[in-house]
Amino acid sequence: MFDIQKIRNDFPILSREVYGKPLVYLDNAATTQKPLCVLDAMREEYLNVNANVHRGVHYLSQQATDLHEAAREKVRCFVNASKAEEIVFTRGTTEAINLVASSFCHSQMRPGDEILVTDMEHHSNIVPWQLQAERLGLVVRHLPITDEGRLCDVKTIESFVNERTKIISMVHVSNVLGAVNPIGDVIALAHKHGIPVLVDAAQSAPHMRLDVQALDCDFMAFSGHKMYGPTGIGVLYGKEEWLEKLPPYQGGGEMIDKVSWEGTTFERLPFKFEAGTPDFVATHGLATAIDYLDSLGLEKIEEYESSLTRYCMKQLQTLDGIAVYGPSEQRDAVISFNMGEIHHLDVGTLLDRLGIAVRTGHHCAQPLMERLGVSGTVRASFALYNTKDEVDALVAALRRIQQMF
């Protein structure tokens, strides 16, 4: 097991106080804190290697380009893609999904064709498809979940598949329920019917080993800021054959081969999908965050966070009137709950006054809230720097809040 105190020293923000109380940061599913090595790497590049990439023959531009493309190779290794050309840098998971939704729907679908998502999707994996469906006359269908908060079984999924189904886009880990979906089984089923699959890995990338070749997914999207990297940078993995088929999502500099009044031809992969100046400093920060995760070991991180989640689930059961949503087993480092008749916003506000940062509300998953029959929940989400003492502080604070009502 890794040294938790040594790890916490890498994140100075964890030592600050809020309202005179030690900060307990349990909103990691929204964004993680950043280790000093990531901040130092980005500061170093701005100070010494700040030049636009791919465009200049001068030394700084070449050096910045080398760092940027080294980051792409780092991401390739992180998800085990077969080629660096299959890694497209985006602004985050949201833009990555929008890219696929726009390019795929316009080039591969006809009016009446169907897109399959699930009842547990984040809005980022619902709204982009709805926008395209409205524009192009497509249909968005949603796979149901069980009362326990798991995705329906493969047989039920297959009953939704028909000749009009053109793509399945689904979350790997629910940002509300913590449920880890059997995406390997879904991908195998989809491919049996010749249907590509996009995996939203925003909530799984920080917590577990990803292998796009083993999964055989066609697309995968995730964000840097949820895995200890900077905001404003994300990744779209796409199989080369699919990225070659799809048209560009945006137009501008960087993504062109030749522009004339007669027409434009586009750059090779992955640059066809990377219009404009990329955030080359953020890509370096993301690569540094990946190095940090690798230095600790994703398997050890997953084991530690799983034990922390189980501990929290057990401690919450000592409180009366707590409703916890999602499966009791096979869940990631997210726990959503409500406390009887106490409104989730009130719980979150009172926890904040006790120094504990959680998320409240619908968590950008309103269809899921409707399925659960609630307006929102309190969500505690864990990272590699959280501790059992912090879980104890959360539970003690919740017990104190119960006594107030």
Catalytic residue ranges:
364
On the question of a cis peptide bond just before residue 247, with omega within 30 degrees of 0, the verdict is: no
Terminal Cα-to-Cα distance of the chain (whole angstroms): 40
* Nearest Cα to Cα of residue 37 among 14, 17, 10: 10
- Whether 169 and 197 have beta carbons less than 8 Å apart is answered as yes
Structure tokens given for 337: 């709950």
DSSP string, 264-316: EEEPSTTGGG--S---HHHHHHHHHHHHHHHHH-HHHHHHHHHHHHHHHHHHH
Tokens 């901040």, residue? 39
Rounded (5°) CA angle 170-175-177: 95
> 176 near 365, Cβ under 8 Å?
yes
Centre a 10 Å sphere on the Cβ of residue 261 and count the other Cβ atoms it contains: 5
**DSSP symbols for 178-198:** -BB--HHHHHHHHHHTT--EE
